[in-house]
Amino acid sequence: METLVLKGLSRCTGEVDLPGSKSIANRALLMAALCAPGQVTELRHMLRSDDTERMLEALRALGVVIEEVTPTTLRVLGNGGRWTAAPRQLYLGNAGTAMRPLTAVLAATLTQPIELTGDARMQERPILDLTKALQQAGAGVRFLQTDGYPPLVLTQAMHGGTVQVNGSASSQYISALLMALPLLAEDSVLELTGTVVSWPYIKLTLAMLESFGIVIEQTSAQQFVIRGGQTYTSPERYWIEGDASAASYWLAAGVLGGGPLTLYGVGRKSIQGDIAFVDYLRKMGGNVELHEEYAVVTGGKLKGLDADLNAIPDAAMTFATLALFAEGETCIRNIANWRIKETDRLHAMATELRKCGATVEEGADFIRIQPPAEIQHGQIATYDDHRMAMCFSLLGFSGAGVTIEDPQCCAKTYPNYFAEFARLCG
């Protein structure tokens, strides 16, 4: 297994152009494909990573014409959901931002059965709350191995009406339905049950749908009225923001390495909820200045954080490793959905932090971290999870350093992360 040793870093300074947001990129690809037949959408600042490649492969398999102008500029020819090819199976790897929305959109546009599957980890990631909602609307869903988990076959298209979905596990189920229901001939009412997690990602989806001409009426805190028969309309050009989750690693590194470090691609205008990471980093003692479309970080003196980070679960992981450099205890709360991500991130994070000398309490939906008097060297298992690898890169700023297993797992969302890390940190 490939490993990477990082040790004794003392600075992080310069400029970094963040890769495009995975969440925005995969939504934009699908929305562009759903635009009226003949309409072309130019997607700029496209993220090229494992997850976006799975979406690109799936759309092309369905007959969508996608022209690569440059690696990060794509032109997508809309087909209004009238797929011109009929693959028997779509393989989506471990890309939740492809699996969940494609399942819903294909259930809305189905003309013949299709199987959706993924890698071994995807087959452990639940999708039952979404498929239950689709079945309420008449969709036919058959699980091929384990009920509630991919692989699954869609056998019958859904129709409009009242649909309820449990939002307590993943906001991706809600986003998927918001993207699919406007395609139906009939009107729909989407009712959210449970305590909804990651609301900012739902707001992101709503903002993007508006950019693509879709009208969603929110009638109460957890209810949406969606007119049927809508047509996605191309904005002609759509710029994909830098990844605010990825920004968290650089913001943290800029605190530990003193900066100044300028991050291009996110700022006050960001539609991503993970930009709220900045507010919590400031509470922890980081010096960060947000501009319209970029941010500057210039060091800071860290103290422990106690916060409910349900709204920003991906970026919240960065605070777990940053906690080792802080004075006092850190507690990250209301993060039960870490357990259904690329790995069980709560257990993985607790296990690996202990290797570095931290005292860690792993709760059902929280993690409590007491930093060690002196950080110990640890060989960090990354669980084929890009965020584990990038979070633990921060341990390079300790005297003992860190060994990271399988650093290339970052290819899921940020293929050149460690090359950039080497360029900016030393």
Render each residue's pLDDT in the chain as its tens digit; 426 residues: 999 999 999 999 999 999 999 999 999 999 999 999 999 999 999 999 999 999 999 999 999 999 999 999 999 999 999 999 999 999 999 999 999 999 999 999 999 999 999 999 999 999 999 999 999 999 999 999 999 999 999 999 999 999 999 999 899 999 999 999 999 999 999 999 999 999 999 999 999 999 999 999 999 999 999 999 999 999 999 999 999 999 999 999 999 999 999 999 999 999 999 999 999 999 999 999 999 999 999 999 999 999 999 999 999 999 999 999 999 999 999 999 999 999 999 999 999 999 999 999 999 999 999 999 999 999 999 999 999 999 999 999 999 999 999 999 999 999 999 999 999 999
pLDDT at residue 293, as a whole number: 93
> Hey, which residues are catalytic here?
314
Task: Assess whether the previous peptide bond of 19 is cis (omega < 30° from 0).
Answer: no
306 marked as part of a ligand binding site: no
DSSP helix/strand/coil, 311: coil
384 marked as part of a ligand binding site: no
345 marked as part of a ligand binding site: yes
- In sequence order, the 6+-apart residues with CB closer than 8 A to the CB of 81 are 34, 105, 108, 109, 183
pLDDT at residue 228, as a whole number: 98
Cβ–Cβ < 8 Å for 148, 123: no
d(CA 52, CA 341): 17
d(CA 275, CA 273): 5
Q: In angstroms, what is the C-alpha Rg of the chain?
A: 21
What's the one-letter identity of residue 65?
Answer: V
d(CA 45, CA 69): 11
CATH architecture of the domain with range 3-19+242-424: Alpha-beta prism (3.65)
pLDDT tens, residue by residue, 244-300: 999 999 999 999 999 999 999 999 999 999 999 999 999 999 999 999 999 999 999
Residue 14 bridge partners (DSSP): 261
Q: Give CA 46 to chain center in angstroms.
A: 15
Q: Supply angle C-alpha 164, 149, 364, rounded to 5.
A: 80
d(CA 181, CA 175): 10
96 marked as part of a ligand binding site: yes
23 marked as part of a ligand binding site: yes
pLDDT at residue 386, as a whole number: 97
283 marked as part of a ligand binding site: no
Q: Supply angle C-alpha 171, 65, 50, rounded to 5.
A: 45
Q: Which residues belong to CATH 3.65.10.10 in the chain? A: 3-19+242-424, 22-226
d(CA 28, CA 7): 39
| Residue carrying the six token digits 């009226």 | 36
22 marked as part of a ligand binding site: yes
The CATH classification of domain 22-226, taken from the options 3.40.50.300, 3.65.10.10, 1.10.3720.10, 3.40.50.720:
3.65.10.10
168 marked as part of a ligand binding site: no
Q: What is the pTM of this model?
A: 0.93
198 marked as part of a ligand binding site: yes
Backbone angles phi, psi at 292, to 5 degrees: -60, -50
